[in-house]
């Protein structure tokens, strides 16, 4: 592969945005300093399920406490799948008649400070007529449980993906392995919580809504419909956003309530989520129960799979994804990177009196990967083979690409088995096995080795969203690339950068096409008044989509620059190249500044018929509806202390392929960060509820996230197989680290404990779960 040009695609450029952040100059929602702003505290439901009989206001509440009826004529949020059988539900901005989860907002309270607003909220008396709550999956599946939304039961949707002859596979199989797996409910825990600030701008006659969101444009579109402000009088701005990981990738009830109220007030109002609100009232994630059966031949070649994934989606469908997003995802991608021709899947979404589920890094895939990869290890144990070798034998081969999976995904390119070979070499399987043989059984600490492989669907096209029944999600992005008269470049992009390094990588794409210095490019995003329309940053799409749009716009702009430069140099446009801030033709060159000077300030110097000014706006969408598929294999060595139940990660290696890397350093940071979250998923994070529907983890003392001591430095190898379906062959990759880590870690822990008769198939594997399993195995 050719060495990258400095500052261009493939170079390890330092992040442009870091100087600002490291100097403390980021401006987050809580930092906004708009005169006259009053702070909001939400009165939230303290009970899981109840009818509201009455709400008694404290003295002086008028103009300071607002209920749904005070917000004017607004519509409830209703996220729908167009797929037949889907059951939708109305999700009001503030609960007026019924509350369905602890933390559901009921009233907005205003104060000069957050503390004053909270004091006011405490004085409101709500008379609840409590109803029996539906909390766990089994209750939600029970037809005798009370129905949350007036449906015949609490089943929101059932999908049945699959194809091929599963019965024939079962008949032909030498081994059949069945297991039930559980992945706990989690919180998302972005560094910055959610938040909204809104006011009516009298001069521009527009409603300005600042929100810590991943998708300002579509939030504007849906808010406009819900609160009845036309889109051209509504501006949504995402200031600096301190991480999203999916929790800011949906319409928030607080956004609707605050925007609707701000339209009626004469001063700005702001809500900044605190950590307790984040842990109980933000959209949560996971909570899956998956039953999986694999039929395999005597060598462990998988002939067929059967799966039922039940997901507890909480109280409501959030916009635009709907409650069915998780279950559909798990059931839809369960065959993983393997060539499995026969599959019978069933994805069941149930509703309950818990916080609604939303997207979180990986959406369904950590659970799908966990269940399949755990089962692969159990098949390997049954047929007596090394788990990584079994994986290699089952994988889709390079010569089969592009490969259509049994659930209709089109894998684009890559050598999946090579990722296993590489990571097995990095982790040194024979050395780990030798260490196990030496150490295990000699004391309480046992060594285990685990692998996990996956494909990560990224940059989904419009067809994919429509196939999933989502008609308000689309698969393109837009960018404007413009020179200023002094020869500098501005990129305006509809994506929203909240930690992914996009201010740098989009500049690198422009540098590739226009020869500009990426450190000198300004990237503007996150503001509907600044950037062209787009869907935003989620589903590992921005590098492919916005990168593609910036590349296309830059190329078109470059053609015009070359025509003008050729005119100035008196050569043919075809002889001009762009590099080092200059247009070059052989030994002669002209600075880009001279070209922009002609384009903006001296049209008399332009070639005949050439329009003045230098800017281009284009869109980009991948050539395949199902997007581009990154893939990876993770390998981890753990030491499990059978005395304390603690798991220590000794070594962690990843061999991955995200096509052409724009900035390998950023890619490595993304893998490392994703693995950190996967470690939390595997070992620590869980949001349990009691039988009354009360969330039990509402502080960081109860909800444990990994810190530096729990997260090892991940060793990363890159494979780089370009995608045939995207610009420059780029594939997305932002979720991958989080997808495989739970599977790899549980496989490693099970590898360590298998000789003791222990098998763990539920995340997180806390010390308590490990010790209980060891105790049960001893007493059986």
Residues near ligand MCN (CB under 6 A) are 190, 243-246, 361, 458, 498-502, 505, 537-543, 658-663, 666-667, 670, 673, 730-735
Least gap, CB of 541 to ligand MCN (angstroms)? 5
Q: Which is nearer to ligand MCN, 154 or 497 (CB)?
A: 497
Residue 295 and residue 302: Cα distance in Å, rounded?
6
Q: Which is nearer to ligand MCN, 21 or 700 (CB)?
A: 21
Cβ-contact 209, 255 below 8 angstroms: yes
Q: Which is nearer to ligand MCN, 370 or 538 (CB)?
A: 538
Cβ-contact 528, 213 below 8 angstroms: no
Q: Which is nearer to ligand MCN, 4 or 450 (CB)?
A: 4
Q: Which is nearer to ligand MCN, 448 or 518 (CB)?
A: 518
Q: Which long-range contacts (CB under 8 A, 24 or more apart) does 397-401 make?
A: 397/339, 400/339
Beta strands 762-763 and 175-186, pairing class: parallel
Q: Which is nearer to ligand MCN, 340 or 509 (CB)?
A: 509
Please choose, from the candidates 244, 186, 284, the residue with its C-alpha nearest in 3D space to the C-alpha of residue 681.
186
Least gap, CB of 193 to ligand MCN (angstroms)? 13
Least gap, CB of 321 to ligand MCN (angstroms)? 13
Cβ-contact 388, 426 below 8 angstroms: no
Please choose, from the candidates 460, 352, 452, 371, the residue with its C-alpha nearest in 3D space to the C-alpha of residue 408.
460
Residue 457 and residue 460: Cα distance in Å, rounded?
7
Least gap, CB of 236 to ligand MCN (angstroms)? 18
Question: Residue 665 contacts by C-beta under 8 Å, 6 or more apart in sequence?
Answer: 12, 13, 14
Least gap, CB of 540 to ligand MCN (angstroms)? 3
Least gap, CB of 573 to ligand MCN (angstroms)? 31
Residue 248 and residue 211: Cα distance in Å, rounded?
9
Q: Widest CA span of the chain, in angstroms? A: 92
Least gap, CB of 348 to ligand MCN (angstroms)? 24
Cβ-contact 597, 618 below 8 angstroms: no
CA 422 to chain CA centroid, nearest Å: 27
- The H-or-E segment that residue 458 falls in is strand 445-458
- Using Cβ positions, the residue closest to ligand MCN within the complex turns out to be 499
Q: Is the peptide bond before 296 cis (omega within 30 degrees of 0)?
A: no
Q: Which is nearer to ligand MCN, 109 or 658 (CB)?
A: 658
**Residue with structure tokens 């062209």?**
532
244, two tokens: 């999203």
Write out the E strands in 4-153.
38-44, 50-56, 65-66, 98-99, 105-111, 125-130
Least gap, CB of 659 to ligand MCN (angstroms)? 6
Least gap, CB of 521 to ligand MCN (angstroms)? 14
Q: Which is nearer to ligand MCN, 190 or 531 (CB)?
A: 190
Least gap, CB of 186 to ligand MCN (angstroms)? 13
Least gap, CB of 668 to ligand MCN (angstroms)? 9
Least gap, CB of 581 to ligand MCN (angstroms)? 23
DSSP H stretches of helix in 287-397: 325-332, 365-383, 387-394
Residue 252 and residue 245: Cα distance in Å, rounded?
15
Q: Which is nearer to ligand MCN, 506 or 568 (CB)?
A: 506
Q: Which is nearer to ligand MCN, 327 or 539 (CB)?
A: 539
Beta bridge partner(s), residue 38: 269
Residue 235 and residue 165: Cα distance in Å, rounded?
53
Please choose, from the candidates 565, 377, 526, the residue with its C-alpha nearest in 3D space to the C-alpha of residue 453.
377
Q: If you write DSSP's letter for every residue of 125-178 in order, what string do you get?
A: EEEEEE-----SHHHHH-TTSPPSSSSSSSEEEEE--EES-HHHHHHH-SEEEE
Q: Which is nearer to ligand MCN, 133 or 674 (CB)?
A: 674
Q: Which is nearer to ligand MCN, 18 or 142 (CB)?
A: 18
Q: Which is nearer to ligand MCN, 268 or 734 (CB)?
A: 734
Least gap, CB of 254 to ligand MCN (angstroms)? 19
Beta bridge partner(s), residue 305: 294, 343
């Amino acid at each position: 592969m050719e060495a990258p040009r400095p500052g261009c695609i493939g170079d390890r450029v330092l992040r442009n945005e870091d100087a600002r952040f490291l100097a403390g100059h980021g401006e987050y929602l809580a930092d906004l300093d708009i005169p006259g702003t009053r702070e909001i505290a939400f009165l939230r439901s303290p009970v899981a399920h109840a009818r509201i009989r009455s709400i008694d206001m404290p003295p002086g509440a008028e103009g300071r406490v607002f209920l749904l009826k005070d917000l004017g004529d607004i519509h409830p949020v209703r996220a729908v799948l167009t797929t037949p059988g889907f059951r939708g539900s109305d999700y009001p901005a503030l609960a007026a008649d019924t509350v369905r989860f602890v933390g559901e907002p009921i009233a907005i309270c205003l104060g000069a400070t957050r503390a004053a607003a909270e004091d006011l909220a405490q004085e409101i008396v709500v008379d609840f007529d409590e109803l029996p709550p539906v909390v766990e999956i089994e209750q939600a599946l029970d037809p005798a449980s009370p129905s949350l939304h007036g449906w015949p039961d609490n089943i929101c949707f059932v999908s049945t993906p699959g194809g091929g002859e599963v019965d024939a596979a079962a008949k032909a199989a030498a081994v059949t392995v069945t297991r039930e797996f559980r992945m706990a409910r989690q919180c998302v825990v972005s560094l910055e919580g959610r938040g909204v600030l809104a006011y009516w701008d009298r001069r521009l006659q527009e409603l300005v809504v600042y929100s810590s969101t991943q998708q300002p444009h579509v939030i504007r579109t849906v808010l406009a419909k819900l609160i009845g402000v036309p889109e051209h009088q509504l501006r949504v701005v995402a200031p600096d956003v301190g991480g999203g990981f999916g929790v800011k990738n949906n319409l928030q009830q607080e956004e609707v309530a605050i925007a609707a109220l701000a339209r009626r007030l004469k001063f700005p109002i702001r809500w900044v989520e605190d950590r307790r609100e984040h842990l109980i009232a933000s959209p949560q994630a996971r909570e899956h129960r998956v039953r999986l059966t694999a039929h395999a031949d005597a060598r462990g070649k998988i002939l067929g799979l059967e799966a039922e994934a039940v997901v507890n989606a909480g109280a409501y469908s959030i916009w635009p994804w709907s409650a069915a997003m998780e279950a559909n995802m798990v059931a839809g991608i369960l065959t993983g990177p393997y060539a499995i021709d026969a599959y019978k899947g069933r994805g069941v979404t149930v509703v309950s009196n818990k916080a609604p589920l939303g997207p979180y890094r990986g959406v369904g895939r950590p659970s799908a990967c966990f269940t399949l990869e755990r089962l692969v290890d159990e098949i390997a144990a049954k047929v007596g083979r090394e788990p990584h070798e079994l994986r290699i034998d089952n994988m889709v081969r390079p010569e089969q690409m592009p490969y259509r999976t049994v659930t209709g995904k089109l894998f684009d390119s890559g050598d999946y088995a090579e990722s296993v070979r590489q990571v097995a070499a990095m982790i040194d399987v024979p050395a780990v096995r030798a260490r196990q043989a030496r150490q295990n059984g000699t004391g309480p600490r046992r060594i285990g080795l685990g692998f996990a492989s996956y494909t990560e669907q990224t940059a989904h096209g419009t067809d994919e969203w429509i196939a999933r029944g989502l008609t308000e999600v689309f698969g393109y992005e837009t960018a404007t690339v413009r020179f200023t008269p002094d020869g500098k470049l501005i990129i305006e992009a509809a994506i929203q950068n909240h930690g992914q390094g996009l201010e740098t990588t989009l500049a690198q794409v422009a540098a590739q096409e226009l020869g500009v210095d990426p450190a000198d490019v300004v990237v503007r995003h996150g503001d509907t008044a600044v950037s062209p329309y787009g869907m935003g940053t989620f589903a590992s799409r921005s590098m492919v989509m916005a990168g593609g749009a910036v590349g296309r716009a830059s190329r078109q702009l470059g053609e015009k620059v070359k025509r003008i430069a050729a005119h100035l140099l008196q050569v043919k446009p075809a002889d001009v190249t762009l590099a080092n801030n200059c247009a070059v033709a052989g030994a002669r060159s002209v600075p880009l500044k001279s070209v922009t000077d002609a384009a903006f300030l001296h049209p008399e110097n332009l070639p005949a018929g050439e329009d003045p000014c230098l800017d281009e706006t284009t869109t980009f969408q991948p050539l395949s509806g199902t997007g581009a598929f990154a893939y990876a294999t993770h390998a981890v060595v753990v030491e499990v202390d059978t005395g304390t139940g603690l798991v220590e990660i000794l070594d962690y290696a990843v061999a991955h392929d995200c096509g052409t890397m724009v900035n390998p350093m950023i890619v490595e940071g993304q893998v490392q960060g994703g693995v950190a979250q996967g470690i939390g998923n595997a070992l620590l994070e869980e949001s349990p509820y009691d039988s009354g529907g009360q969330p039990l983890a509402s502080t960081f003392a109860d909800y444990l996230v990994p810190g530096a001591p729990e997260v090892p430095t991940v060793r990363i190898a890159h494979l780089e197989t370009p995608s045939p379906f995207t610009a420059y062959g780029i594939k997305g990759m932002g979720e991958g680290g989080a997808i495989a880590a739970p599977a790899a870690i549980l496989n490693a822990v099970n590898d360590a404990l298998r000789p003791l008769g222990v098998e763990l198939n539920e995340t997180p594997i806390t010390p308590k779960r490990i010790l209980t399993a060891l105790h049960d195995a001893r007493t059986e």
